[in-house]
Amino acid sequence: MKLLIPPAAQVLISAGLMLACGRYLPQLGFEFSGQTQIATFATIGASIILFFSIRLFSKENTTVNPYTPEKSGRLVTTGIYRFTRNPMYLGMAVLLFAQGMWLGTWVFVPVLVLFVSYMTCFQILPEEEALIEKFDEEYAEYCTKVRRWI
């Protein structure tokens, strides 16, 4: 695996960067009506995505460990996995979006782009290689039907 920093740590680093920039670069801030509602909705949405994606992995008795995708017991393609191949990472990205809305800082945009890019290059692509090796045609067919992110 190319993964250098675990996904949860990436979220914390990204969130910390947004928080620091929000505090020390107030000129990059924004405020609009509905901002709190958007942040709340995004937080609830991210929590639902994360809960059900992790629950489904647990139910299917397969690993959620980002360092060992080759230990996947079976390919999960039901539930939220019918719409995105990476709902856990999607949930993390939505949480970062929500934090950007809560903080009211435009810094969330480049931070979110960097998070998605980093996760794609150093986590998702290596995971996909391991899964194609393990599940062969079944995973290849799944990839043709379901998008990587959304």
Q: Residue 5, Cβ neighbours under 10 Å: how many?
A: 12
Question: Which residues are CB-neighbours of 128 under 8 A, at least 6 positions away?
Answer: 139, 143
Given a cut of 90, whether residue 19 has pLDDT beyond it is yes
pLDDT tens profile 128-147: 998 999 999 999 999 999 99
Note the pLDDT of residue 11. 96
Q: Which amino acid is at 34?
A: G
Cα gap 73→63, rounded to integer Å:
7
Over its C-alpha atoms, the chain yields an Rg (Å, rounded) of 17
pLDDT at 84: 97
Alpha helical stretches, state H, the chain? 7-24, 35-59, 87-103, 108-119, 125-145
Would you list the domain boundaries of the chain?
A: 33-145
**What is the structure's pLDDT at 1?**
55
Least reliable range by pLDDT among 12-16, 51-55, 63-67: 63-67
pLDDT at position 121: 93
* Per-residue model confidence as pLDDT tens digits over 92-104: 999 999 999 999 9
Tell me: pLDDT of 6 over 70.
yes
